[in-house]
Chain A
């Protein structure tokens, strides 16, 4: 009956076992030993990969530029520690396929020597353009997981008239508490970052949405925001996927972003709370994004906690630091258990997108048999977007991708709520990921077949031209021969006439 009175702004969603208590009360560990080698992939963001500017053998200082951004949507990467460039090679990426990605390897010297930092005397007096430039130069990207270059987002915000900056501190994924801890310990810095973002976009006000399962963080943020009337802190109900930015926006304001639009279209920009902190570091301290806080948790972790980690540190290094029992570990996950990716190996680097490493035991991850769909429509109830996952999956199973698209496949956010509640354990999200990839592939194929047609046409035309030319040539030769023969005949005739004469 409760559904009758449910807030229409809050649709679908699930309530999973939180597992947050293991880590949310422990301070962020900053004493992770410096690894001997750091592996920094050149692409840790949405958009074009960065282009390396260092050579093997170069000495680099902490914070020095390693690869610069290229194109409008891109972000640079920086050296997380001082040392020398050992190699630029293809190294397994933190990705479910573990396929290689171009990676710069730094051999650390243990000195942690910073490059000269450009610290503005009064950051809040900087010009908005200057703030955006500093954020972009520091390689700040969305740390909630989307890794969209933040400077681009701020720039978009400046171009469109923004009335609200929404700070997403939902952190709805189970296990993860890195944003929670960050707010508990560094609330002042986050608020400074938010004020910089507001100035960078010329936006008047900000709203921070925090799930109500983080009361301590909420109090800390409330305290830190007290001096600033234009920043409000709001508690939102704990319900996955509250941290889906569009869901949070709908809950807090009642507005929906059009399916084919961006948040800026309705005058809103949404940033993650950790991104606000990175902005503070980038502008106020002049430090590029070279480290981040991530949660290490899961059944196989001996010392679950949040760790401040340098980008490029291998996950195996962190797991060892947190006393992970590898024999008990059944699956290593980058990110949260709902949307995170299972990694086939632990020797992959931490990247900017990585907000958690989970070492789950066989008990944590059940592997039940897949049963047929009983059309219970739990997935329809759980879907925050308003899709029909069961119908979409059955179409995809029958390879009818176009039918699945008609049902709204492209609006799916892969949040996993449907798979979570499915009593038949149908891997619904897996079907949707497969279908999206397949659609992309088809698009590429279509592109290629167009190109092929053009190439074939070109070739046929060229062949035709060559044939025509050959014919013309042959004709010319024949004509020339005929002319020569005629000339010879004429000459012969002339001589005979002369002879006669």
Chain B
């Protein structure tokens, strides 16, 4: 009769970690395919390299920690981190950028904290920011749109990604980059953005990171996740709303110096960050209200750094800063407990 007592509940919901990770990866696939489609084979090679190295680094770390690697490798969390890193890289970046990015994300971003669920910062964003600071040239070389069929062939692509042979690549700046350089040359927004096409930006036919250009595909993936209940609306909505409202106000005050909401929403990593990075379970607050504060904070910082900072793209910094504040938000914003006031005191007895 020494059976170990088993506590209820005796039935459990069917959604497991690995299923959640799979669904998030699935929601990212359209944007990934779009990236491969418009930037050609090098993008695919870079993605594959990043994913593979993410898995390898995860396995090495698990081995070093003395944990059985298989259940953790198969839960898809390393794969998801790797994919997010890959999507934030310039599509024709050399292979070692992907490897270093995966290493930073997995080793420094996740495993040194104790693995899954323990990290303070979003691993993919940590990798992105670290790469941006360490390798500014490689991380800001944006290739022109070169669709799969008319771009370089497979063999040329291998030499681009693994041989660093990007001499004949036609490069330019992203919209946000153009704006920053334009301002330094005392140009007005109308001059800078005379080639800007809002619709193409929405669809994603523009220079940019591998998987961040197509707002519509990321938006659809995010909405699907929301419908499936994997992510909740609080963070994306508050983040995007904050950016929209702020940019609307400033754009209205000075349209020659502040970008319109549409440009903000459809450039850089904003969409991807709103739906896939800021909603990262581990590094975002637990309560709905806390999540809205978090989202609004991310939006505010993004707008501030984009408008007045040195770097053209700021979402990575905004996320990391807000990640650091998350424990504080969780400490102060707690749900009200049944029968108690927000401060934890029991409700007063009153006869209704």
Contacts and interface: CB of A to CB of B under 8 A. Distances in A.
Are A and B in contact, CB atoms below 8 Å, in the complex?
A: yes
A430 B350 contact: no
Interface in B319-352: 330, 334-340, 344, 346-352
A415 to B, nearest CB: 9
A424 B17 contact: yes
A253 B339 contact: no
B57 to A, nearest CB: 18
Interface stretch (B8-16, B159-167, B214-222): B8-16
B281 A429 contact: no
A380 B287 contact: yes
B111 to A, nearest CB: 12
Given A267-B351, A420-B11, A96 B5 contact: yes
Contact of B8 (A255, A259, A340, A381): A340
Contacts, number: 176
A161 interface: yes
A341 B8 CA distance: 6
B10 A372 contact: no
B11 A338 contact: yes
A374 B282 contact: yes
Contacts of B349: 258, 261, 265-266
A385 B11 contact: no
A154 to B, nearest CB: 19
Given A374-B281, A380-B286, A411-B338, A339 B9 contact: yes
Contact of A365 (B10, B17, B350): B10
A246 B8 contact: no
Interface of B is mostly: loop
A364 interface: yes
A366 B286 CA distance: 27
A385 B71 contact: no
Contacts of B288: 3, 381
Nearest to A415: B9
Contacts of B9: 337-339, 416, 419-420, 429
Which of B9, B232, B282, B346 counts the most A-chain CB atoms under 10 A from its CB? Answer: B9
Contacts of B154: none
A433 B281 contact: no
A427 B282 CA distance: 19
Contact of A368 (B16, B233, B348): B16
A246 B71 contact: no
Given A331-B10, A371-B17, A419-B9, A259 B337 contact: yes
B10 A429 contact: no
Interface stretch (A27-35, A178-186, A206-214, A386-394): A386-394
A419 B346 contact: no
B194 interface: no
A430 B11 contact: no
Contacts of B115: 372
Contact of A258 (B5, B117, B339): B339
Interface string B155-198: 00000000000000000000000000000000000000000000
Given A16-B11, A17-B11, A340-B10, A258 B348 contact: yes
Interface string A406-434: 00100100001001111111010110010
A442 interface: no
Nearest to B7: A430
A420 B13 contact: yes
B170 to A, nearest CB: 42
Contacts of B245: none
B12 A267 contact: no
A304 B350 CA distance: 46
A233 to B, nearest CB: 21
A11 B347 CA distance: 17
A174 interface: yes
B240 to A, nearest CB: 14
Contacts of A376: 20, 281
B12 A380 contact: no
Nearest to B231: A376
A374 B21 CA distance: 11
A365 B233 contact: no
A360 interface: yes
B287 A377 contact: yes
A242 interface: no
B3 interface: yes
Contact of B12 (A98, A419, A430): A419
Contacts of B254: none
B178 to A, nearest CB: 35
Which of B12, B226, B346 counts the most A-chain CB atoms under 10 A from its CB? Answer: B12
B6 interface: yes
B138 interface: no
B94 to A, nearest CB: 33
Contact of B338 (A342, A377, A386, A420): A386
Interface string A335-352: 001111110110000000
B10 A337 contact: yes
Which of A1, A97, A163, A258 counts the most B-chain CB atoms under 10 A from its CB? Answer: A258
Contact of A373 (B117, B232, B337): B117
A423 B7 contact: no
A425 B346 contact: no
Given A331-B6, A369-B71, A423 B335 contact: no
Interface in A447-501: none
Contacts of B340: 258-259, 411
A76 interface: no
B339 A266 contact: no
Interface in B216-253: 226, 232-233
B5 A97 contact: yes
Which of B118, B282, B285, B352 counts the most A-chain CB atoms under 10 A from its CB? Answer: B352
Contact of A1 (B8, B233, B282, B346): B233
A427 B15 CA distance: 15
Contacts of A416: 8-9
Nearest to A382: B13
Contacts of B285: 377
Q: Which 5 A-B pairs have the closest CB atoms?
A: A416-B9, A259-B339, A430-B7, A386-B335, A258-B347
17 contacts: A11-B338, A14-B13, A255-B352, A259-B340, A261-B339, A338-B9, A341-B5, A344-B5, A364-B10, A365-B10, A366-B12, A375-B282, A377-B287, A387-B335, A419-B8, A420-B9, A423-B20
Given A374-B77, A424-B17, 9 more contacts: A3-B232, A331-B10, A338-B11, A345-B1, A371-B71, A372-B116, A374-B17, A411-B340, A419-B8
